[in-house]
Amino acid sequence: MNMPDPQVMANAWIAQLNDADQWKTWFQVAPEAQANPLAAILQDAGASIKPELLDQLKNDYMGKLGALWGEFIAGKTPQLSDRRFAAPAWRENPLSAYNAASYLLNGEFLMALADAVQATPHQKQKIRFAVQQVVDAMSPANFLATNPEAQQKVIESKGESLTKGLANMLADMQKGRISQSDESAFEVGRNVATTAGTVVFENDLFQLIQYTPATASVHARPLLMVPPCINKFYILDLQPENSLVRYAVEQGNTVFLMSWRNPDKTMGHITWDDYIERGAIEALRVTREISGQDQVNAFGFCVGGTIIATALAVLKARGASPAASLTLLTTLLDFSDTGVLDVFIDEPQVRLREQTLAKGGLLPGSDLASTFSSLRPNDLIWNYVQSNYLKGNEPPAFDLLYWNADSTGLPGPMFCWYLRHTYLENSLRVPGKLTVAGEKVDLSSIDVPTFIFGSREDHIVPWGAAYASTALLNPKKPRANRFILGASGHIAGVINPAAKNKRSYWSNDTARPAKAKALGADDWFRGATEHPGSWWPEWARFLAEHGGEDVKAPAKPGNRRYKAIEAAPGRYVKVRAE
C-alpha cells in the first residue's frame, strides 16, 4: 500500500485538535483551559504581576532559551527528564529533542507567571489550573507533526498505525469520550462485580444486595456498605483478587451493599434529603430487619461516607442509634480543604449550576467524567490521545479504567444542595447549621467506634481533610476514633488487596488518648509507624471487634418480608448514564 503523506495527515490532526468544540466533547478538556489562560482569568480576577518580577521572569526565561539554542547549534542533545519524552526517538532526532526541551521551558515560564500573579489563594489556584491545562494540551507529544515516536510507527507500519489511529479517534467521537480501556473485555456481572449475592430490596433510588456467606459462621452484626453515588459500586467489587466486598465476606461478615440507581429524567426532582431518608436510612432499616440485629457496622466510601454519616446524625436527632461502628474511607465531613476540586468551587460557579439544575434536571455523567479527567490530564487524556490516536494502539484491558468510564449522573437538586452546603459553605461540620430530612444535623452526636482511612496521595480527598473527621466525631471520647493512612491515591489506596502484600500504611495508636482531637495531621504523621502491605487486615480486625458474637451463617438471603428479587449485581448497576 502507498504510505500517506505525513505532512498532509499532520495538518488534518492539527485542524482537529484546534477545534474547540471537539475539545469539549471528546477530549474532555476543562472549560477553564479553552481560552487564553492568563489574559482571560487575570482580567476576571483583577490580578496582576509586579513589573519588576515580570522583568526578572522574562530575563531568566530568555537566558535559558539562549543557552538551549546554543546547545542545539553546538549539536548537544538537551536532557529530557519528563517521562512523556522518555522514548529514545526523542533523543535520536535533535530537532525533536530541542522541540521537547523548548516546550518544557515554555511551560516552566507560563507556570512561573501564574505563580507570580497577585491574587487571592483561590484565584491563584484557578489560574494555575487553567495554565497547566493549556501547557499539558500543547505538549509536542500530543501532535503527529511533532511526535517522533508516532512518526516512526507510521513508517514502520507503512501507514497502518495512522489508519488505526483515525479509526480509534472516530469511534471515540461517536462515544463522546476517550477510550481508556478495552471495554469489550469486561461486562458487569460476568467478570466484574461477580461476588455472589442477591438483591433483597429496591426502591427508585437504590437496590440492596445481600452477599452470600463464604464462612460457616458470621459475625452477628451485619456490615452495610454505602458506596459513592457519583460512581458505580463495583469499584469495591472489581474482580475476585481485588474485591473489598469479597474480602469482607471472607472475613466472616454478612455484607449488605447499596447499589445506587443511575438517574434518568424521571429522577430530576430528587433531593439530598431523599438520598438520606429514602436512601441510607432506608438501607439501615432493611438491613437491621433482615439480620434481626438492632445495630449494624456502617461503612461509607467517599461521598458514600458523607451520606452515611449524615444519615446517622439525622437518626441520632430522632433518638435512634442503629450503628455499632462506622467506617469512613477517603471521606470529607469537614470541607475546609477540598484539594484540586477547589478550582471548580466558588459562588459564581455554584450559582450557575443552581440556575440550571436546582429546580430539576440531571447533571450528566459526562460532566463529572470531564471534571475528574481534567484533574490529571496527562494520565487520563493525553496519554490516550498519544497511544490510541497517534500510534494506533488499542487500549489495554484494565478493570479499574473500565469502571472509571462507566459514569453516573446526579439529580440536579441533590447535586446543587451538596455543592453549596458542603464544598462551598462547609456547613456540615457546624452542629445544627443544616437541616436534613427534617432534623438538625450534628455530626458530634455520632458516638460510635470509628475507623477513618485516608490515602496519602489522594488529590480528591486530601488525607489531612480525611483526618479532620477525627475532630468532628466522638468529641467526648476521641479514643473511639482510629485513623489509618494508606499509600497511593483516592482509588489505589483503597483497593489494595491484602493477598498481594503491596504498598504500605501508617498508624499511630499513641495519638488516641483523651487529647487526640487536638493533634494535627502533621503531628499525627510525625509520630506514625509505617507498616508494609495492605491496611485491609487492620479493618477486618476492627469489624470483628464490633461484630458481636459469631452465629451460624444465614442459609438464604432476605426474610419472609424481603424476598430475593434477582441475583447480584442487579439491574441498577448495569444502566449506562444518559
Distance CA 164, CA 159 (A): 9
Distance CA 241, CA 227 (A): 19
On the 0-12 / 13-18 / 19+ scale of CB atoms within 10 A, 202 is middle
DSSP state, 213?
P
302 catalytically annotated: yes
Cell numbers that stand for 532 in this block: 508494609
Distance CA 561, CA 198 (A): 15
Upper half-sphere CA count for residue 358 (Cβ side, 13 Å): 13
- Distance, C-alpha 534 to centroid of its chain: 20
Please, what is the Cα angle at 392 between 387 and 397, to 5 degrees?
A: 65
Upper half-sphere CA count for residue 369 (Cβ side, 13 Å): 27
Dump the DSSP string for 343-360. Answer: GG-SHHHHHHHHHHHTTS
- Among residues 66, 108, 104, 67, which one has the least CA distance to residue 85? 104
Residue 292: what residue type? G
Distance CA 534, CA 485 (A): 11
DSSP state, 421?
I
User: Residue for cell digits 504510505?
Assistant: 3
Terminal CA-to-CA distance of the chain, rounded, Å?
42
Distance CA 321, CA 338 (A): 30
- Distance, C-alpha 273 to centroid of its chain: 23
On the 0-12 / 13-18 / 19+ scale of CB atoms within 10 A, 205 is buried
Helix residue ranges, H only, 509-567: 521-526, 536-545
Task: Point out the catalytic residue in the list 223, 302, 414, 543.
Answer: 302
**Residues classed as catalytic:** 302
